[in-house]
């Protein structure tokens, strides 16, 4: 329970005794590091010093500054009787903030206010225990108050738990991006790529950002059963996130459809809005047709064999750089294995590209009644 009121009178003796222990430990270490002197027996009072600091924090003896931590959006206030000297040793911000102040109000988010006692304990004792859900708020506090050692420690904790498969990788990835922690971002991204099957089946998949999804889809080290599993995962994400159509289209184009067996592709088509396959012809490059040359594209749909020969069932002509065949196989039955449009359970298309040349130089017609232009 937080304690109200001022520090207990007569408690300065214990406070100065602790500072004396700190000074003795520092001088002992300096002498041990001195050049040329033979190492002798050492005196280590570190455990006792740590215990005294814990008592100092718990009892608030000789406190000279009160921190009132206000959780934003609530009336909850947590009160900490602290010592500006110990806080200032770790944080330049605390050193400036507590100068000539005996009481300070610190507004913090709810998650940060909930772990502020652990944060203060680290400033006194240099250690803390934390849960996975407490990693981000503790890292936020360490970042806000400039406690670099705690920042590094929490980031290492997060990376270690990612390697063990225990951390919330999606949430930590988004946090790493927001803070610019490239090492943590890369660790989260690698974990997600190597464990995508498990992540896609978890609640975390629903909060994946479009930016993170794009990062994953362009990687070649995704660990999945097959490309169809990735398609189903993407389908589930689209249903939850409902992104803009441009984002959905880019994501769907990242699927490597040639790696999905034709029978499964046809099943996906049957589940679509109209159940029909689409045929869209686009230019191979963004430059379009060359000057003076356009290309006519003809797509032949080759069907079942007849007397050992393949038969052309349909032909579609395209005259534009990018065009869709609106009636592509509108009446074809592609679900039956013995469909006349399938050869060995696959749809075969042949593309014929024919260049069409155009005249670039035109001869101007002579003006009526005109004579020699040069006189």
306, 320 Cβ separation under 8 angstroms: no
Same domain as 294, residue 215: no
Is 14 part of a structural domain of the chain?
Answer: no
Lowest mean pLDDT among 143-147, 149-153, 165-169: 165-169
pLDDT tens by residue, 81-123: 988 888 888 899 999 988 888 899 999 999 999 999 999 999 9
pLDDT band at 315 (very low <50, low <70, confident <90, very high): confident
- For residues 34 and 186, which has the higher predicted lDDT (pLDDT)? 186
Does some domain include residue 247? yes
Same domain for 162 and 54: yes
What is d(CA 81, CA 275) in angstroms, rounded to the nearest whole number? 69
Within a domain: 13: no
**What pLDDT is attached to residue 42?**
80
Looking at the structure, tell me whether residues 213 and 321 fall in a common domain.
no
With cut-offs at 50, 70 and 90, classify the pLDDT of residue 278.
low
Is 362 a member of any domain? no
Q: Which CATH number characterizes residue 118's domain?
A: 3.30.710.10
pLDDT at 172 > cutoff 50? yes
Residue 211's CATH number: 1.25.40
Domain total in the chain: 3
3-state SS record for 82-147: ECHHHHHHHCHHHHHHCCCCCEEEEEECHHHHHCHHHHHHHHHHCCCCCCHHHHHHHHHHHHHCCC
Lowest-pLDDT choice from 112-116, 220-224, 324-328, 347-351: 324-328
Domain containing residue 223:
168-260
Q: Are 62 and 138 within one domain?
A: yes
> Which domain-ending residue is among 232, 260, 288?
260
pLDDT in tens, 51-79: 777 777 777 777 789 999 999 989 889 99
Q: Is the C-alpha dihedral spanning 31, 32, 33, 35 positive or negative?
A: positive
- Per the domain annotation, does 274 fall within a domain? no
| 134 vs 112: CA distance, rounded Å | 8
Task: Compare 286 and 213 and report the one with higher pLDDT.
Answer: 213
Looking at 119, 149, 166, which one is the last position of a domain?
A: 166
**Same structural domain, 254 and 298:** no
Domain shared by 238 and 289, yes or no: no
Segment among 227-231, 254-258, 354-358 with least mean pLDDT:
354-358
What pLDDT does residue 280 have?
56
Tell me the three state secondary structure of residue 49: helix
Q: What is the mean pLDDT of the chain?
A: 76
Last residue of a domain, one of 207, 231, 260: 260
The reply to whether 55 and 147 lie within a common domain is yes
- Whether 291 shows a pLDDT value over 60: the answer reads no
**pLDDT reported for residue 262:** 74
Determine, yes or no, domain membership for 270. Answer: no
């Amino acid at each position: 329970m937080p304690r109200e009121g001022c520090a207990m009178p007569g408690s300065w003796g214990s406070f100065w005794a602790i500072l004396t222990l700190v000074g003795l430990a520092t001088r002992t270490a300096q002498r041990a590091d001195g050049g040329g002197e033979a190492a002798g027996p050492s005196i280590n009072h570190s455990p006792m010093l740590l215990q005294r600091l814990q008592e100092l924090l718990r009892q608030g003896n000789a406190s000279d500054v009160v921190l009132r931590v206000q959780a934003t959006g609530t009336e909850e206030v947590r009160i900490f009787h602290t010592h500006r000297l110990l806080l200032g040793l770790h944080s330049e911000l605390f050193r400036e903030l507590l100068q000539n102040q005996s009481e300070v109000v610190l507004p913090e988010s709810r998650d940060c206010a909930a772990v502020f006692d652990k944060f203060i304990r680290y400033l006194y004792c240099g250690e803390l225990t934390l849960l996975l859900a407490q990693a981000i708020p503790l890292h936020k506090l360490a970042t806000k108050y400039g406690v670099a050692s705690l920042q590094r420690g929490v980031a290492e904790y997060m990376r270690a738990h990612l390697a063990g498969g225990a951390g919330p990788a999606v949430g930590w990835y988004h946090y790493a991006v927001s803070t610019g922690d490239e090492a943590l971002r890369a660790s989260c991204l690698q974990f997600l790529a190597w464990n995508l099957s498990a992540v896609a089946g978890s609640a975390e998949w629903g909060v994946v950002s479009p930016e993170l999804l794009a990062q994953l889809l362009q990687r070649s080290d995704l660990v999945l059963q097959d490309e169809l599993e990735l398609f189903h995962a993407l389908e589930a994400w689209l249903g939850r996130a409902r992104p803009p159509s441009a984002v959905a289209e880019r994501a769907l184009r990242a699927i490597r459809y040639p790696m999905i067996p034709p029978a499964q592709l046809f099943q996906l088509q049957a589940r679509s809005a109209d159940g029909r396959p689409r045929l869209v012809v686009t230019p191979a490059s963004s430059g379009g047709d060359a000057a003076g040359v356009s290309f006519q594209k003809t797509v032949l749909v080759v069907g079942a064999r007849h007397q050992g020969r393949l038969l052309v069932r349909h032909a579609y002509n395209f005259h534009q750089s990018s065009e869709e065949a609106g009636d592509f196989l509108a009446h074809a039955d592609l679900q039956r294995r013995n469909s006349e449009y399938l050869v060995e359970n696959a749809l075969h298309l042949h593309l014929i590209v024919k260049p069409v040349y155009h005249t670039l130089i035109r001869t101007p017609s002579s003006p009526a009644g005109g004579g020699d232009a040069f006189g």
